């Protein structure tokens, strides 16, 4: 009786493990970009971008194309930002400035595209698919 229960328990664990692998198989780990803070820096808006790669492989380069829109929804500034290198299973903060743009005027930041993504089997397309955006600021951050 006990041997049968042990066998069933082991089989149940194996089935649960197989189900878990199937659910995650083929799906790349999420790379989260969070617009964390905006602060004035002279006539520019200093931007703190949290790069959360806590579940993914290292990237030698991750260059993104960003657009800042004003509170009326009109595109104001375009900026190419190198976020790499991005270490595997690491979270970091990258700073950059939107020149000649006051922070209160920024209503939305758009991740327009991934310009470069290098490391392992990464490609521009696969990196873009992995990225999820969020914001802790008054401006939204979308892809």
pTM (whole model) above 0.85: no
Per-residue pLDDT of the chain (143 residues; tens, 9 = 90+): 444 444 444 444 444 444 433 334 567 789 999 999 999 999 999 999 999 999 989 999 999 999 999 999 999 999 999 999 999 999 999 999 999 999 999 999 999 999 999 987 888 989 999 999 999 999 999 99
Residue 86 · residue 58 · CB < 8 Å: yes
C-alpha pair distances (Å), 96 with each of 8, 27, 137? 56, 30, 15
Query: In 1-143, which ranges are continuous DSSP H helix?
Result: 2-24, 124-130
């Amino acid at each position: 009786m006990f041997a049968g229960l042990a066998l069933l328990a082991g089989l149940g664990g194996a089935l649960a493990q197989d189900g878990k692998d199937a659910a995650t198989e083929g799906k790349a780990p999420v790379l989260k970009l969070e617009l964390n803070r905006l602060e004035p820096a002279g006539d520019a808006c200093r931007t703190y971008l949290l790069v959360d790669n806590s579940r993914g492989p290292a990237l030698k380069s991750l260059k993104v194309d960003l657009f800042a829109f004003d509170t009326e929804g009109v595109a104001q500034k375009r900026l190419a930002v190198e976020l790499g290198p991005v270490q595997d299973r690491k979270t970091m903060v990258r700073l950059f400035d939107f020149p000649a743009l006051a922070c209160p005027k920024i209503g939305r930041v758009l991740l327009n595209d991934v310009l470069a993504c290098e490391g392992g089997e990464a490609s521009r397309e696969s990196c873009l698919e992995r990225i999820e955006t969020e914001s802790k600021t008054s401006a939204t951050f979308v892809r």
